[in-house]
């Protein structure tokens, strides 16, 4: 097909969405159900309505914008990603898949393509774990990987429950109604920045994702003994922060110990109580993120972290409690959908490479209920989850063009 992507419009929309943030530009922060998140949702929904799509939202805020096909009763072809952003983030993570997906649909309509199967754009709620500690909240509920009963107990750091937060944001109805029926999508494709340096380094336009790494995250609580920083002698201390510091170093050494480059471990959250320079920390909460494409190797790292916690607890005379947040299996992308993406790359004349995704995405969970694959585009130096995250209008346009070709192929012509 002779499709044309409106790169200038797509870039403008990404800029506008990027500036809908709790932080001043160039930083984007858009945490679940904050005022910025709700404004961002409204902005994208209006663009979908302007494009003639019918929109709906479910009880947790997953948003669907459907281009009705000639055979509306057939399972639709899905595409989409997320628009929530962690603190101090960039403006392309997730949004390229949402606004690129919308532009792919608009380009098909401008090219007088009419789909046989409906094509549905999805904005997944809370892909980032920032507010409730677990990532992909919306797609976990859609795929049934997270039961509504378990989700209802989630609370954020202020003690607000997911139910309270979503109702305040205007999303009512039972969470049990979020789960999609089997066969709801005939196929799903997510466009996303690579969040790594490989495509740019090899000067390849498109990454065709064949597998998504297995993420796990832990919350670790350390209870020590507080006291006066001047009066308590060193041998008498049970400093919760120093115990946490040893555990954080243990996360790093456990990840390195597998010898595999695919194993990664990070401690990205550390709350110290009472947080006064002259008071010995008596309570610390840290959160660890452990991933690998090999689930058994990842689980080995989790076991090593637990052993480290036991040793530190004994040696330092502190109490340590591990609260597992998630430990998901990796996803294999559907070969049939991967083939369609490769054919679309060939049709557009772009170089591509098969690759795994070290970041997780909503496709990790949608792949449980529909044949799924992902398209990556290069981002500058592989930077992501930081304000200097950047993907060029040309790269975004190329990814969007391949996506449009793939959606047309998967939906069939009316």
Q: With respect to ligand HGY, which residue has the nearer C-beta, 117 or 358?
A: 358
- Give the pairing type, strands 283-292 and 214-223: antiparallel
135 binds, among Mn ion, ligand HGY, none (CB under 5 to 8 A by kind): ligand HGY
Nearer to ligand HGY, 47 or 136 (CB): 136
Contact residue for ligand HGY among 113, 241, 360, 376 (CB under 6 A): 360
Min dist. Cβ of residue 360 to ligand HGY (A): 4
The answer to whether 93 contacts Mn ion (rule: CB under 5 A) is yes
- Give me the least distance between CB of 231 and ligand HGY, in Å please: 43
In 3D, which of 329, 236, 330, 320 has the Cα closest to residue 286?
Answer: 320
Is residue 361 reached through a cis peptide bond, with omega within 30 degrees of 0 on the bond before it? Answer: no
Instruction: Quote the least distance from Cβ 84 to Mn ion, whole Å.
Output: 9
Smallest gap from Cβ 397 to ligand HGY, in A, equals 23
Q: Which segment (94-102, 163-171, 243-251, 291-299) binds Mn ion by CB under 5 A? A: 94-102
Which of ligand HGY, Mn ion, none has residue 265 at its interface (CB below 5 to 8 Å by kind)? none
Nearest distance from C-beta of residue 156 to Mn ion, angstroms:
18
Query: Can you state the angle between helices 7-19 and 35-50, rounded to 10 degrees?
Result: 160
HEC string of the chain? CCCCCCHHHHHHHHHHHHHCCCCCCCCEEECCCCHHHHHHHHHHHHHHHHCCCEEEECCCCCEEEEECCCCCCCCEEEEEEECCEEEEECCCCCHHHHHHHHHHHHHHHHCCCCECCCEEEEEECCCCCCCCCCCCHHHHHHHCCCCHHHHCCCECCCCCEHHHHHHHCCCCCCHHHCCCCCCCEEEEEEEEECCCCHHHHHCCCEEEEEEECEEEEEEEEEECECEECCCCCHHHCECHHHHHHHHHHHHHHHHHHCCCCCCEEEEEEEEEECCCCCEECCEEEEEEEEEECCHHHHHHHHHHHHHHHHHHHHHHCCEEEEEEEEECCCEECCHHHHHHHHHHHHHHCCCEEEEEECCCCCHHHHCCCCCEEEEEECCHHHCCCCCCCCCCHHHHHHHHHHHHHHHHHHHCEC
**C-beta of 195: minimal distance to Mn ion in Å?**
7
Closest approach of Cβ 191 to Mn ion, in Å? 11
Q: Count residues contacting ligand HGY (CB under 6 A)? A: 5
Q: Which does 360 bind (CB under 5 to 8 A by kind): ligand HGY, Mn ion, none?
A: ligand HGY
Per-residue interface string for the shown chain with Mn ion, residues 43-82, x marking contact by CB under 5 A: ----------------------------------------
Contact between 101 and Mn ion per CB under 5 A: no
State the residue number with the nearest CB to ligand HGY: 359
* 79, β-bridge pairs: 121, 189
Residue indicated by tokens 């054919």: 343
Number of residues that bind Mn ion (CB under 5 A): 2
Count other C-beta atoms under 10 Å from residue 404's C-beta.
29
The stretch among 92-100, 135-143, 151-159, 174-182 that binds Mn ion (CB under 5 A) is: 92-100
Q: How near is the Cβ of 65 to Mn ion at its closest, in Å?
A: 19
The CB-of-291 to Mn ion minimum distance in angstroms stands at 13
Query: Binding to ligand HGY (CB under 6 A): which residues in 122-141?
Result: 127-128, 135
Question: CB atoms < 10 A from the CB of 112, how many?
Answer: 7
Select 58 or 128, whichever has its Cβ closest to ligand HGY. Answer: 128
Residue among 89 and 180 whose Cβ is closer to Mn ion: 89
In this complex, which beta carbon is closest to ligand HGY, that of residue 135 or of residue 265? 135
Among 165, 359, 377, 403, contact with ligand HGY (rule: CB under 6 A): 359
Write down the least CB distance from residue 352 to ligand HGY, Å. 22
Pick between residue 185 and residue 360 the one whose CB is nearest to ligand HGY. 360
Q: Which entry of ligand HGY, Mn ion, none binds 67, CB below 5 to 8 A by partner kind?
A: none
Which residue, 191 or 338, is less far from Mn ion as judged by CB?
191
From candidates 80, 90, 94, 100, binder to Mn ion by CB under 5 A: 94
Closest CA to 76 of 32, 120, 106: 120
* 171 in Cβ contact with 393 (< 8 Å): no
* Binding interface with Mn ion (CB under 5 A): 93-94
* Binding interface with ligand HGY (CB under 6 A): 127-128, 135, 359-360
């Amino acid at each position: 097909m002779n499709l044309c992507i409106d790169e200038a419009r797509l870039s403008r929309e990404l800029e506008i969405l990027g500036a809908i943030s709790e932080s001043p530009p160039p930083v984007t922060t858009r945490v679940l159900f904050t005022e910025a998140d709700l404004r961002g949702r409204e902005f994208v929904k209006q663009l979908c309505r302007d494009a003639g799509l019918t929109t709906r939202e479910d009880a947790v805020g997953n948003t669907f914008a459907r281009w009705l096909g000639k055979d509306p009763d057939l399972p639709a072809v899905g595409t989409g990603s997320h628009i929530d952003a962690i603190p101090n983030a960039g403006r392309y993570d997730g949004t390229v898949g949402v606004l690129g997906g919308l532009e792919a649909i608009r380009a098909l309509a401008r090219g007088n393509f009419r789909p046989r199967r409906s094509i549905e754009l999805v904005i997944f709620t809370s892909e980032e774990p920032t507010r409730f500690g677990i990532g992909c909240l919306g797609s976990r509920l859609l795929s049934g990987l997270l039961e509504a009963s378990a989700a209802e107990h989630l609370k954020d750091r202020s003690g607000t429950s997911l139910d309270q937060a979503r109702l305040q944001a205007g999303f009512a109805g039972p969470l049990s109604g979020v789960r999609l029926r089997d066969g709801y999508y005939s196929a799903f494709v997510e466009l996303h920045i690579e969040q790594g340096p490989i495509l740019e380094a090899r000067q390849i336009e498109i990454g065709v994702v064949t597998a998504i790494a297995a993420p796990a995250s832990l919350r670790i609580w350390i209870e020590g003994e507080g006291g006066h920083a001047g009066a308590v002698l060193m041998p008498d201390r049970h400093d919760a922060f120093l115990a946490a510091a040893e555990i954080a170093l243990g996360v790093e050494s456990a990840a390195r110990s597998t010898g595999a480059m695919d194993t990664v471990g990070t401690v990205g959250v550390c709350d110290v109580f009472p947080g006064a320079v002259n008071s010995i920390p008596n309570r610390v909460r840290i959160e660890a993120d452990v991933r690998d494409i090999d689930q058994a190797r990842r689980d080995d790292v989790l076991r090593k972290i637990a052993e480290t916690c036991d040793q530190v607890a004994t040696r330092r005379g502190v109490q340590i409690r591990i609260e597992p947040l998630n430990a998901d299996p990796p996803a294999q992308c559907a070969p049939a959908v991967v083939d369609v993406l490769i054919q679309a790359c060939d049709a557009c004349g772009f170089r591509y490479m098969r690759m795994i995704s070290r970041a997780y995405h909503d496709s990790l969970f949608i792949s449980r209920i529909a044949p799924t694959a992902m398209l990556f585009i290069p981002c500058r130096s592989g930077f992501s989850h930081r304000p200097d995250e950047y993907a060029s209008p040309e790269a975004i346009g190329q990814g969007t063009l391949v996506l449009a070709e793939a959606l047309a192929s998967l939906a069939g012509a009316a």
